[in-house]
Amino acid sequence: MTALVELADVSKFYGNVKALEGVSLEVHAGEITCVLGDNGAGKSTLIKIIAGLHQHDAGSFTVDGDETRLVNPRDALDRGIATVYQDLAVVPLMPVWRNFFLGSEPTVGRGPFRRLDVRTMRETTRSELLRMGIDLRDVDQPIGTLSGGERQCVAIARAVYFGAKVLVLDEPTAALGVKQSGVVLKYVAAARDAGLGVVLITHNPHHAYLVGDRFVLLKRGAMAGSHARSEISLEELTRQMAGGSELEQLSHELAREATPEFPGGHRPG
């Protein structure tokens, strides 16, 4: 089956700095590809390339089987790639329905009598959120009154409604508690079940393993691993994410060696 999006040996350089080097991943319809890495691993650069903000310098970028070079974010949207960033682009004091259609508002009337179709926007927002299993008390409430998890869910439902085929999520659970993270992951899975190909960027292997079908690990801009879910356990994914052998070496260096005088490995008092 042809991948919706495929990156093969993609690299990105800023002068002499290698932000990404030789990164490959595939995004298939109805699957979640998780990209894991610590700060500075290259996750943000990868997002910007997929979203059309930056162009890759080497390797190939394929959308629906056609090799391409995205010009800008609008080009990515036109090709069905929607990106939801960690700092959601919403207007806090505007109602939920207005944020749902922000920049794509339907209108009625002509000429000087042209106005926003508020009724359609309210009804569509309510029905689309319900279709994703999101039951808000009132779509007229300011979106800033929603929890972080609820705002993420509205952004996911919006991308599905506007015809996204690939949904890129930038650390959607990073600033959320356990319960809210679970809510967001539920709707990430709902987007997958709706037939979208999802790219979930995260530094949390536990969240990734709950929903992921494929896992790509980045370290200092390079591939540190690529696994299908059937090929790796949560424990091994966590070990690789944490540094694996490097962490074991660090633990060995930090361990206090026992001495004849102090068998416990530390001095009293």
List the one residue out of 15, 20, 17, 19 whose CA is nearest residue 7.
Answer: 20
Domain contains 120? no
Q: Is the pLDDT of residue 260 over 60?
A: no
Residue 185: its pLDDT value, please? 92
Using CA atoms, how far apart are residues 147 and 96, in angstroms rounded to an integer? 12
Domain contains 111? no
What crossing angle do the helices spanning 118-131 and 148-161 adopt, rounded to 10°?
Answer: 100
Residue 240: pLDDT band (50, 70, 90) is confident
Domain contains 176? yes
CATH of the domain at 202: 3.40.50.300
Q: Is the pLDDT of residue 228 over 90?
A: yes
Summarize the confidence of residues 222-249 as an average pLDDT: 83
List the one residue out of 39, 38, 42 whose CA is nearest residue 17.
Answer: 42
CA 160-215-252 angle, to 5 degrees, is 140
Number of domains in the chain: 1
Radius of gyration of the chain (CA): 22
Domain contains 263? no
Domain contains 262? no
39 vs 29, residue with greater confidence: 29
Residue 86: pLDDT band (50, 70, 90) is confident
Domain contains 133? no
72 alpha carbon, distance to own chain's centre:
19
Domain contains 141? no
Tokens matching residue 79: 């090709």
| Structural domain range at position 214 | 5-93+161-254
Domain contains 109? no
pTM for this structure? 0.84
C-beta of residue 105 within 8 angstroms of C-beta of residue 118: no
- In this structure, what DSSP letter does residue 104 have? -
